[in-house]
């Protein structure tokens, strides 16, 4: 086998039952790239308050999106994507799916891959924008496992693809199937990205204190050499390109960040606040794109399509529509197969 291509995504509990949600949350939240507190403080929080209060609530949320036969949408949509990708990459490339948390784990997948002794292993973390809690933790786990397995072949990883034309075209193509041909003055488009704590951005080498987190006039207005690794700036870059492809004027859309956890500051503006403000301003219909995901999951199907839709209506709006992610659409599979080889860089295991 010449190459093993490993498609990595976040992961999902085995079932919505609290007994399965609890260990999943513990593994996820104990990752120092996700909650970057000292180990003792992190363990106290995760194994204490979160382990006893969150599994029931999260289990109920997972149950609301769980497919009766196929299970987690994130898992089966990624499986479908991988199966379709196999026919696009040629006979010398084996394609596998791995999850950073729960099963199939990165360790178990790479263990099977290394047994086949491929000349090259390619790691594709399916996160468009770079963040410590997504791309970086996948890369570090892959490095850890491959070093332990003493793999001596070539390892490459795919760079974030936030501005790549194939990704933009795929997401815009999906959106055009949902958006009306013309937006009236009571209809709005919100691009909601997953949030991260402000302190995660401040850890980046390119971070300029005081310049990156202000709502206007910030470094996020354009991508430059100084903010190339900034998740928030990359998110705004994605939004600008999508808006251009979709023909949206600046007054017809904006960017927000969802899924914050805890009391520390997260990057702004917050999605729930923006939606309430849109309702207060008289917008009756909102279409929400979530371009930090390529696969629909709890954060899109439950948080946006269920909870935020209800909150929007309670605030005075009429309709909130989720624009689906590219998932395993044939167009996205084809575009990805052409995109990923161009973005590969060596991954050192040292």
For 70-125, what is each residue's pLDDT tens digit?
Answer: 999 999 999 999 999 999 998 899 999 999 999 999 999 999 999 999 999 999 99
- Note the pLDDT of residue 24: 97
Going by the DSSP 8-state scheme, the letter that residue 221 receives in this structure is G
Q: Which pTM does this prediction carry?
A: 0.94
8-state DSSP, 34:
T
Tell me the CA distances in angstroms from 343 to 147, 160, 161, 208, 256, one per residue in order. Answer: 23, 8, 8, 27, 27
Q: Which residues of the chain have pLDDT under 50?
A: 211, 215-217
**Angle at the Cα of 315 from the Cα atoms of 295 and 296, rounded to 5 degrees:** 5
pLDDT at 206: 54
* C-alpha 254: how far from chain center: 19
Quick check: bond before 164 cis, omega within 30?
Answer: no
Q: What is the C-alpha separation between 301 and 255, in angstroms, rounded?
A: 19
Rg (CA), the chain: 20
Strand ranges across the sheet with 120-125: 93-101, 3-11, 120-125, 154-158, 344-346
Q: Are 77 and 328 in contact (CB under 8 A)?
A: yes
Residues 77 and 174 sit within 8 Å (Cβ to Cβ): no
For residue 82, the model assigns a pLDDT of 98
One fold for both 3-161+331-346 and 179-322?
yes
Predicted pLDDT at 201 = 86
Supply the pLDDT for residue 223: 87
Cα distances (angstroms) measured from residue 163 to each of 41, 78, 157, 258: 37, 21, 17, 20
Q: Quote the pLDDT of residue 208.
A: 54
Instruction: State both tokens at 280.
Output: 């207060």
- List the chain domain ranges: 3-161+331-346, 179-322
| Residue 350 pLDDT | 81
> Among 153, 120, 155, 162, which residue's Cα sits nearest to residue 139?
155
Give residue 261's pLDDT.
Answer: 86
Average pLDDT of the residues of the chain = 94
With H, G, I as helix, E, B as strand and everything else as coil, classify residue 309. Answer: helix
CATH class, range 3-161+331-346? alpha beta
179-322 CATH fold: Rossmann fold (3.40.50)
Contact 24, 154 (CB under 8 A): no
Spatial neighbors of 91 by CB under 8 A, at least 6 apart, are none
Q: What is the DSSP letter of 264?
A: S
Residue 83 has a CB neighbour count (10 Å cut-off) of 13
Q: What CA–CA distances, in Å, run from 186 to 218, 273, 319?
A: 29, 18, 11
């Amino acid at each position: 086998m010449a190459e093993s291509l490993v498609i990595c995504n976040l992961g999902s509990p085995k079932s919505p039952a609290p007994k399965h949600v609890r260990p999943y949350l513990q593994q996820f939240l104990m990752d120092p790239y996700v909650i970057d507190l000292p180990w003792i403080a992190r363990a106290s929080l995760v194994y204490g308050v979160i382990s006893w209060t969150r599994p029931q609530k999260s289990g109920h949320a997972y149950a609301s999106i769980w497919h009766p036969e196929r299970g987690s949408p994130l898992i089966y949509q990624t499986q479908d994507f991988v199966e379709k990708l196999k026919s696009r990459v040629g006979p010398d490339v084996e394609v596998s799916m791995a999850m950073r948390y729960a099963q199939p784990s990165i360790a178990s997948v790479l263990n099977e891959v290394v047994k086949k002794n491929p000349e090259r292993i390619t790691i594709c973390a399916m996160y468009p924008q770079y963040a410590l809690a997504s791309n970086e933790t996948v890369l570090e786990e892959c490095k850890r496992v491959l070093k332990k397995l003493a793999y001596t072949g070539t390892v490459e990883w795919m760079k974030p693809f936030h501005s790549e034309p194939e990704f933009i075209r795929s997401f815009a193509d999906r959106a055009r199937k949902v958006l009306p041909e013309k937006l009236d003055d009571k209809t709005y488009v919100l691009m909601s990205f997953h949030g991260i704590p402000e302190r995660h951005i401040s850890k980046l080498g390119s971070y300029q204190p005081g310049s990156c987190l202000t709502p206007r006039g910030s470094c996020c207005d354009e991508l430059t050499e100084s903010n190339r690794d900034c998740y928030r700036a990359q998110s705004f870059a994605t939004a600008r390109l999508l808006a251009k492809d979709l023909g949206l004027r600046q007054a017809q859309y904006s960017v927000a960040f969802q899924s914050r956890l805890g009391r520390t500051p997260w990057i702004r503006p917050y999605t729930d606040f923006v939606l309430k403000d849109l309702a207060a301003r008289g917008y009756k219909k909102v279409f929400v794109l979530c371009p930090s995901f390529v696969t629909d999951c709890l954060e899109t199907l439950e948080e946006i399509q269920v909870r935020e839709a209800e909150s929007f209506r309670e605030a005075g709006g009429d309709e909130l529509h989720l624009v689906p992610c590219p998932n395993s659409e044939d167009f996205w599979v084809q575009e990805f197969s052409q995109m990923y080889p161009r973005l590969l860089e060596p991954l050192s295991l040292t």
